[in-house]
Structure 1
Amino acid sequence: MTDRGTLVRIPGPSEEAQPDEARAEQTEPALSRRATLRTRWQTSWRPALRANWLFVVFLGIGTVLRVITWLAYQPAMLYIDSFRYLIMLSDPAVDGLDPIGYTIVLYPLIFVGKFFGAGLALTAAVQHLVGLAIAVLMYQICRGLGAARWLSALITTPILMDAYQLQIEQNIMAEIWSDAFLLVAVWLLIAWRLRRPGSPGNDADAETGSGRHAPGAGPMWHQAAIAGALLAANVPIRIIGIVAVVPFVLYLVFVGARWRNRHWWRTMLTRLTAGLAGFAIVLGGYLVVYRVATGHFGLSGATGSVLYGRAATIAHCDELPLTRYQRMVCPKEPLGQRLGVDAYAHNPMERPPGFPPGKSLHSVRSEFGKVVLRHQPLDLIVAVTRDFLKGFEWSKVDHPGDTPLKRWQFQIDYPRWEATDADKWTLYFDGTVPHVITPLTTFLRGYQLHHGYVPGTLLGIAGLFGVAGVVRRRRGGESLRSESLLTVGMALALLGGAAGFEFSFRYQLPGLVFLPLAGAIGFTALISRERGPMEAYPDDVDAMAVRGFEDRYGDVEFPDLVVVIAAYNEERGIGRVLDRMPTTCPTPDGGSLTIATLVVVDGSVDNTAEIADQHGAYVCVAPVNRGQGGALRLGYHLAAEHGATYVVTTDADGQYEIDELPQLIEPILTDRADFSTGSRRLGTGEYDSNVRWVGVRVFAALASILTRTKITDTSFGFRAMRAEVAQGAVLTEPQYQASELLLGVMARGARMVEVPLTMRLRNNGASKKGGSITYGANYARVMLTTWAREWVGSSENRRLRKLARTDRQQWTDRQRWRKTSRSSNVNLKKNTTP
């Protein structure tokens, strides 16, 4: 103790005798642990958070919303069904109105929580954690299948932020557990092809060089068996989950399909048998228990009631061959004035007068439902389809006869239901009566009512992308058709199966998981590249092509104007195009420019190169086929490096009128533009489909928004530009390059002018662009990524745009300096001129 009475610690004898080395040894483990954690943070965790920052942000928002929801309604929200689940904790019954599976899940959570005085509160908290875990697994699946980070993060926002999802998780309800069981089963089925993003993964094992799955591709038999068991275990949680067996079987049959390969057939039958065995063993065990308890096989006591509810809304009782007792349970209301499925299925029905005492009302209602569905199948299809489509409306609104929407909406006060006693149960499990924090419940209700949910139309669009992924065919590389089939099939089976019984927004919640997931996989399948992005010029292919060109032509000096044509297997039409090519181009001042034609043959396997040479063109042959973008980029640089002042591009298939060349290049020669492109909308255009007609206008509008410049046609192939402008653009797309070039040169400050010109249909051959949907999806991808890279992400381009606005001459001089600098720095072999 010091003079001021402050206690101080005096070392004991053992401590005084301990040498510094011993004390240092004791601190080493703690320091080592800190160093290990610091190393992991710096080398693994921090880079991962930085790379996946968008998903981390969304996950954080979802977590905050769940914390607010959990605090707002304590200890948990209890819906009508919740009380039946709680009753079954002490009096389990497999034939109850609700299946027993969720009660089995509840039991350990409730009673562990009850030990700490928070049985219901702990259950709600765990359900919120399950919701977050579902989002993490969705993100991992998408990234593992090659989806972009932004897309993988975006599709988790419905499960993370939809207010109806938050509300159901706070309820003591089974929905979130059903979604979790199904998603884990999906993950098990596709785990064989998931890879760490950015790593080579298992591509070699997954696909053969021809783009078809290797015979062993697909889940292992034990993965299929476990997935089948999970699907079966989900059935007692939510009966409608039984329909998931349909996409499950389809996936096991079609994944990696090679119908003529005997080994594949053995592999497929093995995993299919294992999957069905896992499903049958678990579900069969449940059915046996049900039979022991009730004397007959079944899944739930509600099956007959729901069947009756659906039939009662459409039954033409006067026209059906009903028995006397069945006619007694036919609704008394006229067909156009009947109640909804929910009212007939779940409201208690009094025994009709004259109904025999020993006759089961439940069995008669069930028989009535079967008769109606057997004799009115078209009416059933119409009713189910109508209910199915309700889930894809933009806004959530009440429909006559459906379960009221307010049941799934946050209320400012604690929700209570007729003939229930929430206080009794919360006091028993948590020692408190239900209560709310009003500011939080007010916030949640406002959030939900003011579009704090995903519009059904967007979910429908995601589903369409999933369907597109199923039908997407590829000539080579990986295919995601089977994974699209599994996820979109799961979504459609669950939503369609639920609509078969009755519509409720509660039953639409699985769509928040599987429709976005299917959409992301399908979209990735549509935009996935058969060729990866090109390396910076000159890559190996460019270098080999230029060496071959200069071996043949030497250090040739091009005239001022060079027309570049990219050609791949165009032997049938290239000759006619070159025969029409003029040798000079008139200029506005009365002079003319000499024209040289450069044909870049992009790995053709026909006689394109020989025919182009015979018709007087310079020919540069790329040793491999990379796509039109690669060929044109090579042509731009080759023309600029050999003295061209202006570069014009046209196609090898005769779609453009070369006689319109003077109009095209006039804005550049008069210094009104640095880049001039034709427009079929301002001039004349022929389209091979209505989809292409729409696409031209949609992408023009998108480009106009992104660049804040009116653009009418982004994909016109007849273009003119200063050589230094073409050479300075960053071009990485081997295909779908038109928008990359247009947005790229404009991002660097180049002046762009559109000229009314003519575009006709191909006069020979077939397009290499693929189907309209595939082409459109990839075109959108290129346009958006180019805008993000060149307009948003490039500080150099921002400086160039500013310089172009303030000092056009300095901007022009800088572009010309870049041209000279680039040309002198390209280290390629040169020979003497022949």
Structure 2
Amino acid sequence: MTEPVTAGPSGLSRFWGLIRANKLFTGLLAAGVLLRVAMMVTYYPAFGYFIDTRAYILSAKSWDTDPIWPFGYPFYLWLHEPFQRTSVVALSQHLLGLGMGIVVYALLRRRGLARGWSALATVPILLDARELVVEHHILSDTVFSTLLLLAVVLLLWPRERLPLWVAALSGGFFAAASLTRTIGQVLLAIAIVYLIVRRVGWKQLAAFCVAMAIPLAGYMVWFHHEHGVYAINTYTGRYMWSRTTTFVDCDKVDFTAEERELCPLEPLGQRLGPDSYLWYDDPTDLVRRYKDDNIYKSFATKAILAQPGGYIEVVFADTLHMFQPGWHGPWRTECVHDRWNMPSAGSGDTCSATLMVKPFLPGAEAVAGEPANWQNKTMHAYGTVFTTPGFLFVFMLLFILAAALRRPRKQRGYENLDAVFLATISVALVMMSLALSAIDIRYIMPLLTLAPIALALSIHRFRKPVEA
């Protein structure tokens, strides 16, 4: 007799079964959704009016490459232009934030971590108040974090041999991240070293490099067509120059007459912050003295080689301040820091995030927020409690380093390598950002996904394996 065919569970049944099996993560994801809905309602339509915001929107409308910021984020804005609403951009970025939480959870479950540990690793990206504020800004940070996470996860996802197409796709995402924020270029070398040490094979390494190089080379050709140089931007020299303004003693450096014109007029100890010289707060306007960026790069190179101790001190001091609880910087630095707090009228912040009042148009008009009401007061109160402290990332990275020195049981070599790879990217993101630019707390936002993954993988090495 023929056995009766038993119908399998319906799609809805499988969905509810998945929810029940992952209750903790489902609860965290639901909380993340509610918080983002509250952001959209309380701070409609979006935050903006950085100098970056204006440049991004103009570039998206004109399809011209900007000399400072690459075209990755303007392209993302161009995809939203038919809606003519910055609120749609903010909404899509909030969805990216939720998506990053799902990707982190899925990766850790695939790597055999228990549901509880995997869910806890998503708490920073799903619930961190500063992450919510950054997602609500018309800025490139959320898109950059998403592209970087996808590029990394693709390399970590396969359990054994890395398929060619996965290596190529990861290289493409690394290139896209580099064309969204230029700091991504630093991470390319780290990824290549990781692939070499992991011994993925020369074909996989070649696929990664080719997929990475084609978009970057294509963009450089386009940039050359509009600006006359093969580069991603023409502001790297100015970034480097601004970092030297606080310590350079021009009497001790063999500058040319042209380069000496870039020396700050203020004596040592009375100078402005590097971001003030870079972003037009300097009354002498040195940053616009020359059109040729190479002059600024030459000045910075000579200053760093002549006074390496001063440069190292500046970078490490800002790194310490980035993670130091309760640190307060100069006025402009403090102002930028406060922009990543949940705004509320009467909150006492030196500065606060500003609402965009023009639909998908750059302009000077902005409002610092509506009068105090229960919604923005509640969100502000949430932000004072549920913001990941910077020093927590330091503890995470120290634990990962300590765990990397031990091998508690026989295991695959790359299991330890993966955690070190993520930690190295996290450190490089912070250090290189501060080496080339002024201190800004939003530079650590990608660590909300990368550091918890690395920490979870490190902890997992000391626990019994759990079936995914």
Verify: 1:85 aligned to 2:56, yes or no.
Answer: yes
Residue 365 (structure 1) shift: 2.9
One-letter amino acid of the structure 2 residue matched with residue 287 of structure 1 = M
Matched with 2:423 is 488
Matched with 1:503 is 439
For residues 321-354 of structure 1, the C-alpha deviation after alignment (integer angstroms, 9 at most, x for no partner) is: 111222221112222222222111111656689x
Residue 50 (structure 1) shift: 2.2
Give the match's secondary structure for 1:337: coil
Distance 2:297 2:103 in 1: 40
Matched with 1:102 is 73
Matched with 1:512 is 448
Verify: 1:252 aligned to 2:195, yes or no.
Answer: yes
Distance 1:104 1:352 in 2: 31
Distance 1:298 1:74 in 2: 37
Verify: 1:145 aligned to 2:108, yes or no.
Answer: no
For residues 656-707 of structure 1, the C-alpha deviation after alignment (integer angstroms, 9 at most, x for no partner) is: xxxxxxxxxxxxxxxxxxxxxxxxxxxxxxxxxxxxxxxxxxxxxxxxxxxx
One-letter amino acid of the structure 2 residue matched with residue 65 of structure 1 = L
Query: Relative contact order (alpha carbons < 8 A, sep ≥ 6): 1 or 2 greater?
Result: 2
Give the structure with the larger helix fraction: 2
For residues 134-189 of structure 1, the C-alpha deviation after alignment (integer angstroms, 9 at most, x for no partner) is: 00001111111122222211111111111111001111111010011111111211
Matched with 2:262 is 329
Distance 1:126 1:55 in 2: 21
Distance 1:148 1:436 in 2: 44
- What does residue range 781-796 of structure 1 map to in structure 2 within 5 Å? none
Distance 1:390 1:349 in 2: 23
Residue 150 of structure 2: which of 184, 189, 192 is its match? 184
Distance 2:168 2:351 in 1: 42
Contact 1:72/1:436 (CA < 8 Å) preserved in 2? no
Residue 513 (structure 1) shift: 1.4
Residue 57 (structure 1) shift: 1.1
Matched with 2:228 is 295
Residue 236 of structure 1: which of 133, 157, 179 is its match? 179
Residue 105 (structure 1) shift: 0.8
Give the match's secondary structure for 1:186: helix
Specify whether residues 126 and 224 from structure 1 end up closer, same or farther in structure 2 by C-alpha distance, changes over 3 A only.
Answer: same
For residues 181-209 of structure 1, the C-alpha deviation after alignment (integer angstroms, 9 at most, x for no partner) is: 1111112112211xxxxxxxxxxxx4xxx
For residues 613-664 of structure 1, the C-alpha deviation after alignment (integer angstroms, 9 at most, x for no partner) is: xxxxxxxxxxxxxxxxxxxxxxxxxxxxxxxxxxxxxxxxxxxxxxxxxxxx
Unaligned runs of 5+ in 1: 1-34, 194-205, 207-216, 258-266, 534-834
Matched with 2:4 is none
For residues 189-244 of structure 1, the C-alpha deviation after alignment (integer angstroms, 9 at most, x for no partner) is: 12211xxxxxxxxxxxx4xxxxxxxxxx3x12222122112111111211111111
Distance 2:66 2:10 in 1: 56
Residue 94 of structure 2: which of 99, 117, 128 is its match? 128
Distance 2:260 2:361 in 1: 46
Verify: 1:476 aligned to 2:410, yes or no.
Answer: yes
Matched with 1:160 is 126
Distance 1:305 1:389 in 2: 24
Contact 1:460/1:515 (CA < 8 Å) preserved in 2? no
Contact 2:236/2:293 (CA < 8 Å) preserved in 1? no
Contact 1:308/1:366 (CA < 8 Å) preserved in 2? yes
Residue 90 (structure 1) shift: 2.3
Matched with 1:457 is 391
RMSD: 3.2
Residue 382 (structure 1) shift: 2.3
Contact 1:422/1:434 (CA < 8 Å) preserved in 2? no
Verify: 1:373 aligned to 2:307, yes or no.
Answer: no
Residue 124 (structure 1) shift: 0.6
Specify whether residues 428 and 483 from structure 1 end up closer, same or farther in structure 2 by C-alpha distance, changes over 3 A only.
Answer: closer
Structure of larger gyration radius? 1
- What does residue range 170-181 of structure 1 map to in structure 2 within 5 Å? 170-181=136-147
TM-score scaled to structure 2, two decimals? 0.87
Residue 290 (structure 1) shift: 1.0
One-letter amino acid of the structure 2 residue matched with residue 486 of structure 1 = F
Matched with 1:409 is 341
Verify: 1:390 aligned to 2:324, yes or no.
Answer: no
> How many aligned positions are there?
450
Contact 2:169/2:211 (CA < 8 Å) preserved in 1? yes
Matched with 1:544 is none
Distance 2:418 2:275 in 1: 35
Distance 1:313 1:278 in 2: 40
Residue 62 of structure 1: which of 12, 32, 39 is its match? 32
Contact 1:249/1:272 (CA < 8 Å) preserved in 2? yes
For residues 334-386 of structure 1, the C-alpha deviation after alignment (integer angstroms, 9 at most, x for no partner) is: 22222222111111656689xx99x6475433322222123222322222122
Residue 428 (structure 1) shift: 9.2
Verify: 1:50 aligned to 2:50, yes or no.
Answer: no
Distance 1:482 1:332 in 2: 49
Distance 1:96 1:514 in 2: 30
Distance 2:368 2:388 in 1: 29
Give the match's secondary structure for 2:333: coil
Contact 2:32/2:98 (CA < 8 Å) preserved in 1? yes
Specify whether residues 416 and 97 from structure 1 end up closer, same or farther in structure 2 by C-alpha distance, changes over 3 A only.
Answer: farther
One-letter amino acid of the structure 1 residue matched with residue 420 of structure 2 = L
Residue 446 of structure 1: which of 381, 397, 413 is its match? 381
TM-score scaled to structure 1, two decimals? 0.50
Distance 1:465 1:428 in 2: 45
Give the match's secondary structure for 1:331: coil
Residue 78 (structure 1) shift: 1.2
Residue 402 (structure 1) shift: 3.0
Give the match's secondary structure for 1:408: coil
Give the match's secondary structure for 1:453: coil
Matched with 2:276 is 343
Distance 1:313 1:337 in 2: 9
For residues 59-105 of structure 1, the C-alpha deviation after alignment (integer angstroms, 9 at most, x for no partner) is: 11111111101111111111312122112222333243322210001
Distance 1:413 1:78 in 2: 17
Specify whether residues 469 and 291 from structure 1 end up closer, same or farther in structure 2 by C-alpha distance, changes over 3 A only.
Answer: farther
One-letter amino acid of the structure 2 residue matched with residue 377 of structure 1 = P
Unaligned runs of 5+ in 2: 1-6
Distance 2:402 2:21 in 1: 29
Matched with 1:557 is none
Residue 474 (structure 1) shift: 5.4
Contact 2:276/2:282 (CA < 8 Å) preserved in 1? no
Distance 1:422 1:338 in 2: 33
Contact 2:57/2:362 (CA < 8 Å) preserved in 1? no
For residues 755-800 of structure 1, the C-alpha deviation after alignment (integer angstroms, 9 at most, x for no partner) is: xxxxxxxxxxxxxxxxxxxxxxxxxxxxxxxxxxxxxxxxxxxxxx
Distance 1:396 1:39 in 2: 55
Contact 1:305/1:346 (CA < 8 Å) preserved in 2? no
Residue 497 (structure 1) shift: 1.4
Specify whether residues 131 and 494 from structure 1 end up closer, same or farther in structure 2 by C-alpha distance, changes over 3 A only.
Answer: same
Contact 1:225/1:275 (CA < 8 Å) preserved in 2? yes
Give the match's secondary structure for 1:410: coil
Give the match's secondary structure for 2:63: coil
Give the match's secondary structure for 1:167: helix
Distance 2:418 2:215 in 1: 25
Give the match's secondary structure for 2:269: helix
Contact 2:175/2:216 (CA < 8 Å) preserved in 1? yes
Distance 2:273 2:456 in 1: 35
Distance 1:351 1:306 in 2: 17
